[in-house]
Amino acid sequence: MRATAAVLLVLCLLALSHGLLKQLDAGGNQFMVGVNMDDTPFCLTSSATVGYKGPGSPTSWTRLPGAVKYYSCGPFGCWAVNKNDDIFLMILNQDCQNKGWSHIDGKLSMIEVATDGSVFGVNSSGLLKQLDAGGNQFMVGVNMDDTPFCLTSSATVGYKGPGSPTSWTRLPGAVKYYSCGPFGCWAVNKNDDIFLMILNQDCQNNDWSHIDGKLSMIEVATDGSVFGVNSSAWDCQPVVDIYHLMQFDAGLGQVVATNTSQIPYYLVGDKWIRLPGSLKHITVGPAGIWGINSGNIIYKYVAGNWEQYAISVKQVDAGGDEFIVGATIDDTPFCVTSSTIVGIMGQDSRYHGTRLPGSVKYLSCGPFGCWAVNKNDEIYLMSNVNKDTCQNKGWSHIDGKLSMIEVATDGSVFGVNSEGQVFTRDGITASKPEGTGWSIVPMYMPMTHVTYDLGRLWVVSTSGFTMVCTR
């Protein structure tokens, strides 16, 4: 669950209104530039890039004028092309200050600036689809068939125009995009797999080494830093008309929430309807709507009223198949069967919970099992929980660390770690409920809570700022 080597997943949200990045370039003097899906260019100052240490670091992007689909920077300026293949030049400093774009004659579909200021490009009728000039005077490129090539430093330095020797060396493998720096060349293929190759000025190499993770494009800076954009980026928008939220839960198309004043809400359309009572925790799912108040008393929402069920409970989840699970104030996990749940209709209902093994502080269930975290943020999975008896086969340890975890009604699993990073579990199926690994969901601020349902990811930041994200 850590970034590998120098790979830094660049925040896929520039800001709430800016949208997703489709291209990055790190060739400027410690500053970085990028283009979003609407061809809007942005710049990130050198102080922000140098100081970036992870979630919570300042990452305020500056919107630049104009509309371009691709651009690249070097020591003397930034070159760009727009959707019409028109070419432009901008002089940009480390603080992203500029005097706008100057039009340059010619037509190119993509453009790259080398570390020595040389500019290379591909036109719409060329065979190459991508170039990179970040290597030590050599150049690399990819053709339409994802075949990587390299042009030696002697060929690039000696190039004076048509007729100059430009014999390209075919490199092994198949990649859709790659970029070079002082310590090697990084690439991604059509499956978003990541690779590293050590390549010298004569294009000699030791083939590609696979690096863990997934990225749709990758860029290497002149100091060797590596940046990338993933293809599973989320488009996040602020949740309006409700503020200072503490916790969300979503399931079966329903969304509930509670704020720092312990006021519970239910989402109807795009309107938040206040529910009666005072709750510090709330959940919704196949087992109904449940909540916990400041006195650690658990309630079920029945016919517009909260009916008391049990005491000394700090967390509850209604995502199981009509059964509920929860954790007591001393981290004892419990399960309540579906037949007991259905029978809860008023204050006379008796507590018939089944104690589960182990010690956990937070747990959540879905169609393929229940996931939990303990006081040390260790992660566990309990599969095949019987809804009628709560019988189970105990907990299985899962790699990673999370401070809270949520399971959606479709089986998707999301969680937040102690640093506020959001993760999702990949590869979960009925036959493989434990999945295959964790992927980070990039956020530009630290989060405390997450929930997911019907393609919508709801997140709450440490400051109470709330967003809903879609792919």
Which distant-in-sequence residues (6+ apart) come within 8 Å of 386 by Cβ? Answer: 392
pLDDT of 26 over the 90 cut = no
Distances (CA, A) of 212 to 71, 193, 202, 429: 28, 8, 28, 22
Residue 77 lies in a domain: yes
Predicted confidence at residue 136, as pLDDT, reads 82
pLDDT of 231 over the 90 cut = no
Distances (CA, A) of 341 to 130, 316, 366: 59, 13, 16
Residue 210 lies in a domain: yes
Q: List the one residue out of 407, 397, 406 whose CA is nearest residue 448.
A: 406
Judgement on whether residues 56 and 196 belong to the same structural domain of the protein: yes
CATH code at position 325? 2.130.10.30
Judgement on whether residues 275 and 210 belong to the same structural domain of the protein: no
Secondary structure (DSSP) of 203-231:
--B---EEEEEE-SEEEE-TTS-EEEE-T
Q: List the one residue out of 147, 143, 279, 246 whose CA is nearest residue 458.
A: 246
Please say whether the beta carbons of 356 and 324 come within 8 A: no
Tokens describing residue 463: 């400051």
Judgement on whether residues 222 and 258 belong to the same structural domain of the protein: no
Amino acid code (one letter) for 381: L
**Domain end point (choices 178, 195, 229):** 229
Judgement on whether residues 248 and 214 belong to the same structural domain of the protein: no
The per-residue pLDDT for range 445-460, each reduced to its tens digit, is 889 999 999 999 999 9
pLDDT greater at residue 465 or residue 285: 285
Give the torsion through C-alpha atoms of 88, 92, 98, 101, to 10 deg. 0
In the numeric block, the tokens 């943020």 are attached to 377
Judgement on whether residues 311 and 209 belong to the same structural domain of the protein: no
Judgement on whether residues 200 and 326 belong to the same structural domain of the protein: no
**Domain end point (choices 203, 229, 255):** 229
The per-residue pLDDT for range 290-328, each reduced to its tens digit, is 999 999 999 999 989 999 988 899 999 999 999 999 999
Residue 2 lies in a domain: no
Element (H, E) at 348: none
Residue 223 lies in a domain: yes
Q: List the one residue out of 178, 182, 107 whose CA is nearest residue 143.
A: 178
Tokens describing residue 343: 């029978």
Judgement on whether residues 148 and 272 belong to the same structural domain of the protein: no
User: Cα 317 to chain center, whole Å?
Assistant: 25
Amino acid code (one letter) for 75: P
- CA dist., res. 437 & res. 428, Å (int): 9
Could you give the 3-state DSSP secondary structure of residue 39? coil
Q: Which residues pair with 179 in a beta bridge?
A: 186
**Domain end point (choices 229, 252, 272):** 229
pLDDT of 277 over the 90 cut = yes
pLDDT band at residue 353 using 50, 70 and 90 as cut-offs: confident
pTM above threshold 0.75: no
Tokens describing residue 239: 């949740």
pLDDT band at residue 234 using 50, 70 and 90 as cut-offs: confident
Amino acid code (one letter) for 382: M
Domain count, the chain: 2
Judgement on whether residues 210 and 110 belong to the same structural domain of the protein: yes
Please say whether the beta carbons of 201 and 138 come within 8 A: yes
Judgement on whether residues 324 and 177 belong to the same structural domain of the protein: no
Lowest mean pLDDT among 30-34, 99-103, 292-296: 30-34
- CA dist., res. 350 & res. 38, Å (int): 58
pLDDT of 142 over the 70 cut = yes
Please say whether the beta carbons of 219 and 24 come within 8 A: yes
Residue 1 lies in a domain: no
The stretch 78-85 carries a mean pLDDT of 94
Judgement on whether residues 455 and 355 belong to the same structural domain of the protein: yes
The angle at the Cα of 418, spanning 412 to 423, to the nearest 5 degrees, equals 25
Lowest mean pLDDT among 57-66, 154-163, 318-327, 370-379: 154-163
Please give the residue range of the domain that contains residue 194: 7-229
CATH code at position 131? 2.130.10.10
pLDDT of 4 over the 60 cut = no
Judgement on whether residues 319 and 219 belong to the same structural domain of the protein: no
Q: List the one residue out of 312, 271, 316 whose CA is nearest residue 289.
A: 316
pLDDT greater at residue 241 or residue 266: 266
pLDDT greater at residue 232 or residue 442: 442
Please say whether the beta carbons of 360 and 348 come within 8 A: no
Judgement on whether residues 347 and 438 belong to the same structural domain of the protein: yes
pLDDT of 159 over the 80 cut = no
